[in-house]
Amino acid sequence: MARYAISFHKFSPGNDRKDHWDLFLEAQDGALWTWALSDAWGTATRFLGIRLPDHRPIYLDYDGAISGERGTVERIATGEYDIVQLGDDGLPREITLNMNTNQVAVSLQPTDEPHTWQFELRDA
């Protein structure tokens, strides 16, 4: 099983970017597939995510300051996940997150907007 992390990314004061939640999914090559989520994890069952460049694996275990005055990250959930379905582009379309005592099925679908994905959560 591969690992995942969900982190809250708080930007430094004066930064133009908006605070958000990041979903990191460990890929087979060790990089992290990454999305910046529009809603706090667990507050909505449908929300948007912006596909970001792959991140370094350190973010699976990291809490703290980010270089370059880009703020801080704090992990709010970690664990393992299973890929249920991959898209033709090699990115997941359906995964199951193992979260403490329950499992959450997550559907990830690209939209017509560049880099924008639709997420849907449900009990697995």
pLDDT (tens digit per residue) in 44-63: 999 999 999 999 999 999 99
Q: Exposed, middle or buried by CB within 10 Å (0-12, 13-18, 19+), for 118?
A: middle
CA–centroid distance for 30 within its chain: 15
Query: Tokens in use for 62?
Result: 């990291």
**Banded pLDDT at 31 (limits 50, 70, 90):** very high
CB 26 within 8 A of CB 32: yes
The span from the CA of 45 to the CA of 27, in Å, is 24
Summary mean pLDDT of the chain: 94
Average pLDDT over residues 92-117: 95
